[in-house]
């Protein structure tokens, strides 16, 4: 019997009822059965069977899609009949059916990602390729070229949270345009509306309730049509719930007009994209706060608030997944520790996301200890007031923190009976002496400067400190500057928070988010901080999430919010624990997509390092950067290489000097410096500096250096922009402008160092370093050009310098000078010969408009450095090449990197691992042989079998079909550590004399370096088993 369309996808037999995923959002009477398919109790997509796709059915499907969009957690809705399937995009804004909406069917059609009937042969092939269970589980849709059209339609930024945030930002701007200039009032209107709509959608308010304020009102939206009724409701809200959060003053009542309330109403009914006409439909709202997660309300508001007000304060939206990760470590609810009295502080609490989640976990611990569902409002309030504390300097944020905690209090109560009955009186939480609207000061959320010298008894002796302190080096407060100066730390906002936390929790535990450059910056004052952190405290582990810095907006990385900088998390305490360890666990993930449905950061087994504590205690250690992208072999190799004499010494010996280019004037306080030489000579812009040498046709006049609008307007205003400008802020090193010289860009070209030799005078700006010979000899400069442009230089700098791959892709001059190069006369001559060949090719290309491949010549340069300058072994060269081919390529090309591509052949891996093993096993007369398997590209895992016997055999290819076994096993190797954060294990399975090595089907895990690492792991495991 022929199988139906949906059966061919191999999904329906694995689907479950929604209640098995703890999902209660679909009305069974209204919609019938809606099933769920997912992995590890995480929903991936919804399925709905229908008789046909007539008009009434399409109306029902649109309502299911509306619910799915508000649920947020799934991307696809599969709707199928016996002969047809339609797959809807749940990341796209819903379309409402209304009789007056003539375009409904055409608009709803646009939400289809794929529509396929059993007679559509070509579409059936696409359906099974992209939307089968295997494709869903392996994330084929994110990487497959044939999925691009579908992938382009899936815009995660259009999900409910992103769309609501965007709408709130847009309507706020519109409210300001409409005369509502006070942002505090805008925030209050939004906060009250979120709260009231949440109550209404949870059925805590009724039509009868609203009639008290306006006779014909049935909903909050009806109330908003009447300004007087609206503020009567707001007053009732403030009076009944207390808590100092919903207070109203006369100024607000006087300035808020009906047109402002109309905008609020439109925003919450249909969203707000621009100033165009918004079409409203009766008894329908785009946002359903009964479905939207309660945590999302504070997340939405925090993100909304940070977008508007926090750009200069160093504070950023805190990804909820990182909150969950920290609290899973420090306040787990699935172990035997049921203590629900843990005095906790967030020293920069922002909108309260850490405090809310901490409170909810303490409640869960109470429930587990007492074996009851906690609904007693007094006990809930008692837990909150005894244990939850926050400090925040921003007055709007601290109110949102209180708002978020009030929602968390309500969440444990029955909304229909207990929310608005006059008995729920929110506790006063906020303590802000400058807020005149607060009638009674609270004792939990303090509006303070955390780094000030406050002496408040309740803000002492914390058992746990968690949070996301502000970071950055600009616009520092006086207290931050003074604190950093007093401790001889770098003037970096986050450092005082990390330091002072040990005084606020002298016997407690601390887990704080910070910017990664604190670990990698080579400056002396940053080193002073690391000296304190790793020697005067006990650091347990560090997570490095710098990968988030460049996560694409329309991929899994975006689920971590608007994290704009390279962030890390440090877990530490002042006191050394009873059972201390000699290593610090370091997690440095490199990828941020698990699969097409369950997006997030992936922490693979190779991303977890156990760093020697003694090495971490060295304040100038390079281990944090090297371990982020490399292996322990890389660390050992770099340590060995950097013991050699540096390039700086060789430059001095050969009379090579260097300097930076000129700076333009941009400010009236700059003291102008004149230079006729710079004014009249040719100028080469950094954008036109090429590797090895640059086209002379790109040498222009000095005025081409004025590129920004700010610089142009400044010179036009103050100097009337003459033909050649003559005044500058700094002149740079004038000697570096004369030929022969080497121009070295601070920035990179496609993640490659760019050094360019020129035998013509030219000037350049301060983003370029100039090297020149005081005795006008060009041979060293030509050799130096080849050294800078080599792969080994990229390798050494990528793994060691503070900014490259962390904050911005640029290299400082003193960092170039640390390279471990010393040139002999023979090496210099050989490099000059290769350079001359490359130079001739480039000049010929300039004449002919061609592009010659210099790959082989560049390889010759690398071999000279490998063999003659650094004297590297074959194994050393393998380590370098693998790091360049996989780690650096992964950093540069992200999800398109060859490092993530499936394994085509593994001979380099199995040849290396058998060689390494057999060299070690030579003394015991054992030999390792390998068995290979035919593994398809879309299989999530790759496998080889090692067999140990008395003789070495040639590799054999097994005929066994192991696809289903590997697919099943793949699910077992994943562990969701926190929302959108996954750990993936490797597996060595022992069966008699055989060992099965099972790892992800990605090339980076099957390199020669991986083979060397795996051989050592196997030998250790084998020796341990023998013992």
With respect to residue 614, please indicate whether it lies within any of the assigned structural domains. no
646 Rama sector, left if φ>0, alpha if ψ -120 to 50, beta otherwise: beta
With respect to residue 231, please indicate whether it lies within any of the assigned structural domains. yes
Clarify whether residues 165 and 307 are in a common domain.
no
* Cβ neighbours for 3, distance < 8 A, ≥ 6 positions apart: none
Using 70 as the pLDDT threshold, list the residues of the chain that sit under it: 1-3, 40-41, 143, 243-245, 275-281, 297-317, 416-418, 421-422, 550-564, 592-600, 668, 717-722, 976-982, 1025-1027
Clarify whether residues 940 and 845 are in a common domain.
no
Specify the pLDDT at position 39. 72
- Which of 575, 590, 607 is the C-terminal boundary of a domain? 575
* Cβ neighbours for 132, distance < 8 A, ≥ 6 positions apart: 8, 9, 10, 11
Specify the pLDDT at position 314. 55
Clarify whether residues 309 and 179 are in a common domain.
no
Clarify whether residues 889 and 930 are in a common domain.
no
With respect to residue 279, please indicate whether it lies within any of the assigned structural domains. yes
- Which of 575, 596, 615 is the C-terminal boundary of a domain? 575
Clarify whether residues 47 and 29 are in a common domain.
yes
Q: What is the phi/psi pair of residue 450, to 5°?
A: -55, -30
What share of residues in the chain are helix, strand, coil (percent, to 5)?
45, 15, 40
With respect to residue 89, please indicate whether it lies within any of the assigned structural domains. yes
Strand pairing partners for 438? none
Q: How many domains does the chain have?
A: 5
Clarify whether residues 926 and 848 are in a common domain.
no
With respect to residue 630, please indicate whether it lies within any of the assigned structural domains. no
The DSSP output letter for 342 is: -
Spatial distance between the Cα atoms of 571 and 512, rounded to a whole number of angstroms: 7
Spatial distance between the Cα atoms of 341 and 591, rounded to a whole number of angstroms: 37
Clarify whether residues 10 and 137 are in a common domain.
yes
Spatial distance between the Cα atoms of 587 and 604, rounded to a whole number of angstroms: 9
Sign of CA dihedral 325, 331, 336, 338: negative
pLDDT, tens digit, 9 for 90 and up, residues 339-395:
999 999 999 998 899 999 999 999 999 999 999 999 999 999 999 999 999 999 988
3-state secondary structure of 337: coil
Spatial distance between the Cα atoms of 392 and 449, rounded to a whole number of angstroms: 7
Entry pTM? 0.85
Clarify whether residues 1009 and 967 are in a common domain.
yes
With respect to residue 619, please indicate whether it lies within any of the assigned structural domains. no
> How many degrees, rounded to 5, is the angle at CA 1020 between CA 1014 and CA 1021?
90
**DSSP assignments along 877-893, one per residue:** HHHHHHIIIIIIHHHHH
Q: What is the phi/psi pair of residue 729, to 5°?
A: -75, -45
With respect to residue 586, please indicate whether it lies within any of the assigned structural domains. no
Sign of CA dihedral 688, 689, 692, 697: positive
203 Rama sector, left if φ>0, alpha if ψ -120 to 50, beta otherwise: left
> How many degrees, rounded to 5, is the angle at CA 886 between CA 884 and CA 887?
75
Cβ count near 743 (within 10 Å): 25
Specify the pLDDT at position 315. 64
With respect to residue 523, please indicate whether it lies within any of the assigned structural domains. yes
- Which of 540, 575, 610 is the C-terminal boundary of a domain? 575
Clarify whether residues 661 and 730 are in a common domain.
yes
Q: What is the dihedral of CA 563, 568, 569, 575, to 10 degrees?
A: -150
Q: What does the chain come to in residues?
A: 1027
Clarify whether residues 14 and 75 are in a common domain.
yes
Say whether the peptide bond before residue 405 is cis (omega within 30 degrees of 0).
no
Instruction: Find the CATH number of the domain harbouring 421.
Output: 3.40.50.150
Residue of 838, 885, 862, 841 lying closest to 790 (CA atoms): 862
Spatial distance between the Cα atoms of 859 and 865, rounded to a whole number of angstroms: 10
In which domain, by residue range, is 202 found? Answer: 160-292
Clarify whether residues 751 and 889 are in a common domain.
yes
Specify the pLDDT at position 763. 98
Strand pairing partners for 426? 242
Clarify whether residues 147 and 173 are in a common domain.
no
Contact call for residues 116 and 124 (beta carbons, < 8 A): yes
């Amino acid at each position: 019997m022929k199988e139906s369309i949906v059966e061919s996808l191999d999904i329906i037999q694995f689907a479950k009822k929604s209640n098995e995923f703890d999902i209660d959002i679909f009305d069974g009477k209204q919609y019938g059965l809606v099933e769920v398919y997912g992995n590890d109790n995480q929903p991936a997509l919804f399925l709905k069977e229908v008789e046909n796709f007539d008009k009434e059915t399409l109306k029902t499907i649109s309502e299911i899609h509306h619910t799915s969009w508000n649920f947020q957690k799934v991307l696809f809705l599969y709707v199928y009949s016996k002969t047809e399937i339609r797959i809807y995009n749940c990341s796209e804004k819903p379309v409402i059916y209304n009789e007056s909406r003539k375009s409904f069917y055409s608009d709803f059609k646009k939400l289809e990602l794929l529509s396929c009937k059993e007679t559509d042969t070509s579409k059936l092939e696409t359906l099974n390729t992209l939307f089968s269970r295997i494709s869903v589980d392996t994330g084929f849709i994110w990487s497959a070229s044939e999925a691009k059209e579908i992938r382009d339609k899936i815009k995660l930024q259009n999900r409910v949270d992103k769309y609501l945030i965007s709408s709130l930002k847009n309507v706020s701007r519109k409210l300001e345009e409409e005369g509502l200039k006070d942002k505090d009032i805008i925030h209050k209107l939004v906060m009250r509306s979120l709260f009231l709509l949440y109550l209404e959608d949870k059925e805590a308010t009724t039509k009868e309730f609203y009639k008290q304020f306006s006779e014909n009102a049935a909903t909050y939206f009806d109330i908003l049509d009447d300004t007087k009724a609206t503020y009567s409701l707001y007053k009732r809200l403030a009076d009944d719930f207390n808590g100092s959060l919903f207070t109203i003053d006369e100024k607000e009542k006087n300035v808020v007009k009906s047109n402002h309330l109309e905008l609020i109403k439109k925003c919450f009914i249909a969203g707000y994209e621009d100033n165009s006409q918004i079409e409203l439909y009766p008894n329908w709202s785009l946002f359903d706060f009964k479905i939207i997660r309660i945590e999302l309300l504070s997340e939405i508001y925090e993100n909304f608030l940070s977008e508007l007000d926090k750009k200069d304060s160093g504070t950023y939206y805190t990804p909820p997944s990182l909150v969950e990760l920290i609290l899973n470590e420090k306040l787990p609810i699935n172990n035997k520790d049921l203590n629900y009295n843990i005095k906790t502080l967030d020293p920069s609490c922002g909108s309260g996301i850490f405090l809310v989640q901490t409170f909810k976990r303490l409640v869960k611990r109470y429930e587990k200890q007492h074996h009851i569902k906690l609904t007693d409002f007094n006990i809930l309030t008692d837990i909150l007031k005894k244990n939850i504390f926050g400090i925040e300097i921003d007055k709007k944020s601290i109110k949102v923190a209180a708002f978020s905690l009030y929602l968390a209090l309500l969440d444990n109560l029955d909304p229909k009976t207990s929310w608005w009955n006059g008995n729920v009186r929110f506790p006063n939480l906020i303590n802000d002496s400058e807020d005149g609207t607060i009638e009674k000061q609270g004792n939990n959320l303090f509006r303070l400067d955390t780094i000030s010298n406050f002496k408040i008894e309740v803000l002492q002796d914390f058992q746990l400190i968690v949070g996301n302190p502000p970071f950055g080096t600009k616009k520092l407060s006086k207290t931050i500057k003074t604190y950093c100066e007093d401790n001889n730390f770098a003037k970096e906002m986050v450092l005082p928070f990390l330091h002072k936390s040990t005084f606020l929790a002298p016997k407690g535990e601390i887990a704080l988010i910070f910017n990664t450059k604190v670990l990698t910056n080579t400056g002396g004052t940053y080193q002073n901080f690391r000296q304190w952190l790793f020697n005067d405290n006990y650091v347990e582990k560090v997570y490095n999430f710098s990968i988030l810095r460049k996560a694409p907006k329309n991929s899994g990385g975006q689920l971590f919010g608007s994290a704009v900088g390279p962030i890390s998390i440090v877990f530490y305490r002042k006191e050394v624990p009873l059972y201390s360890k000699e290593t610090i666990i370091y997690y440095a993930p490199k990828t941020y997509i698990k699969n097409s449905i369950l997006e997030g950061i992936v922490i693979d087994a190779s991303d977890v390092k156990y760093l020697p504590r003694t090495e971490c205690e060295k304040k100038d250690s390079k281990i944090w950067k090297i371990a982020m992208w490399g292996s322990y072999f890389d660390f050992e190799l770099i340590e060995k290489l950097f013991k050699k004499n540096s390039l700086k010494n060789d430059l001095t010996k050969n009379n090579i000097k260097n300097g930076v280019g000129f700076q333009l004037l941009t400010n009236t306080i700059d003291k102008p410096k004149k230079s006729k030489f710079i004014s009249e000579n040719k100028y080469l812009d950094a954008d036109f500096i090429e590797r090895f040498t640059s086209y002379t046709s790109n040498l222009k006049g000095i005025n081409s250096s004025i590129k920004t609008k700010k610089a142009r307007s400044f010179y036009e205003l103050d100097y009337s922009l003459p033909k050649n400008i003559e005044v500058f802020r700094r002149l740079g090193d004038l000697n570096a402008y004369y030929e022969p010289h080497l121009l070295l860009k601070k920035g990179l070209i496609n993640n490659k160092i760019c050094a360019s030799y020129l035998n013509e005078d030219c000037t350049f700006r301060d983003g370029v370093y100039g090297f020149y010979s005081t005795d006008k000899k060009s041979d060293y400069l030509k050799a130096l050009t080849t050294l800078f442009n080599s792969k080994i230089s990229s390798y050494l700098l990528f793994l060691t310098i503070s900014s490259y791959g962390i904050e911005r892709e640029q290299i400082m001059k003193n960092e170039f000078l640390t390279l471990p190069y010393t040139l002999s006369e023979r090496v210099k001559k050989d490099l000059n010969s290769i350079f001359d060949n490359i130079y001739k090719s480039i000049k010929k290309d300039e004449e002919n408009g061609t592009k010659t491949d210099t790959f082989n010549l560049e390889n010759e340069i690398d071999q000279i450095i490998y063999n003659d300058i650094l004297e590297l072994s074959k194994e050393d060269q393998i380590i370098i090449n693998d790091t360049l081919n996989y780690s650096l390529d992964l950093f540069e090309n992200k999800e398109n990197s060859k490092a993530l591509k499936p394994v085509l052949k593994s001979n380099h891996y199995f040849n290396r691992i058998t060689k390494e093993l057999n060299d070690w096993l030579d003394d015991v007369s054992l030999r390792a042989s390998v068995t290979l398997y035919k593994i398809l590209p879309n299989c999530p895992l790759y496998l080889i079998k090692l067999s140990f016997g008395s003789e070495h055999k040639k590799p054999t290819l097994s005929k066994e079909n192991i696809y289903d076994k590997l697919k099943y096993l793949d699910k077992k190797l994943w562990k969701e550590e926190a929302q959108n954060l996954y750990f993936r294990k490797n597996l060595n399975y022992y069966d008699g004399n055989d060992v099965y090595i099972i790892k992800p089907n990605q090339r980076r895990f099957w390199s020669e370096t991986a083979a060397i690492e795996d051989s050592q792991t196997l030998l250790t495991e084998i020796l341990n088993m023998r013992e």
